[in-house]
Amino acid sequence: MNKLLVVAVLLALLAVSAESFRMPRQAEDKEEGPLTKLCNTVKSYYSDAVNTVSDYVETIKGLKLEEKAKNLYEETTTILSTYNSIVQDQIYHLLTSKP
């Protein structure tokens, strides 16, 4: 009786585990309609454009233009502040000078 029970349990486990190993059905290949082809084409063009722009951005970052622009701004503001001080001083002396 015990052997029969063990065989029945093993057979049940085998049936349950075999059910979980079923192969999924393969989807039938459907032909693409014109709208699907158009959407896929637009998606591919969009992804190509995004990749190209990303490459350009990486190239621009490689040129360190941001750092050069920052340095140019700092130099320009330093020079302009110097000339601004000179002009302010001249206007002050012009207005406060006694005739």
Pick the more confident residue, 15 or 74.
Answer: 74
Q: What is the mean pLDDT of the chain?
A: 81
Per residue in 22-34, pLDDT (tens digit) is 566 666 666 778 8
Q: What's residue 54's pLDDT?
A: 87
d(CA 65, CA 58): 11
- CA dihedral (53, 56, 62, 67) in degrees, to 10, reads -80
- Phi first, then psi, for residue 26 (nearest 5°) are -85, 135
